[in-house]
Amino acid sequence: MSIYDFSILARNGERIPMENYRGKVLLIVNTATGCGFTPQYEDLQSLYDLHEKDGLEILDFPCNQFANQAPGSDEEIHTFCKGRFGITFPQFAKIDVLGENADPLFKYLSENTSFGGFKGAMGLVMNGVVKKMDKDFKNNGNVKWNFTKFLIDREGNIVARFEPTEPMKNVQKKVEEILG
């Protein structure tokens, strides 16, 4: 099984094969518009502006599973993100990343990575919040919250996972390392 064996759902309902992204460096992110981490859209757009020409694609998957922080329709979410943060990277249909209805791509990403731990002061808060939902959260690869990021190299290998509390400068450094 490879990341290229999956397809993803565009906002217009069309299935897009991940094969279309072969040869690109991918940052796959589950997002929300009403989250404390939502300002990361600004950093993601800056990263995209800087490295799209180098072969970086950021794939944005809104998800409403964490405290109902992405309640709008696909178009409402897209309009908000474009207007507030000027996003130009691909944004897909809203999905589930956990449970029986989890998108197969996110099941694959979760099953093939480990939870990296939350960082900093916000990490202490997140530990308490997430533990209420999943007592064993430190010992499984499930996505814990909005703005979890998966970095995929040009060959389709998962090379890093970043929890939402990971400083974006660390994400950028690893992206640039993989871009070469």
81 catalytic? Reply is no
Looking at 18, 26, 35, 168, which residue is catalytic? 35
The runs of H, that is alpha helices, within 16-68 are 40-51
Which pLDDT tens digit goes with each residue over 144-178?
999 999 999 999 999 999 999 999 999 999 999 99
Give residue 160's domain range.
3-179
DSSP assignment letter at 7: E
**Closest C-alpha to 45, from 180, 178, 172:** 172
Could you tell me whether strands 25-31 and 56-62 are parallel, antiparallel, or unpaired per DSSP bridges? parallel
* CATH label of the domain that carries residue 81: 3.40.30.10
Which pLDDT tens digit goes with each residue over 106-144?
999 999 999 999 999 999 999 999 999 999 999 999 999
How many residues are recorded in the chain?
A: 180
Whole-model pTM: value is 0.96
Number of domains into which the chain is organized: 1
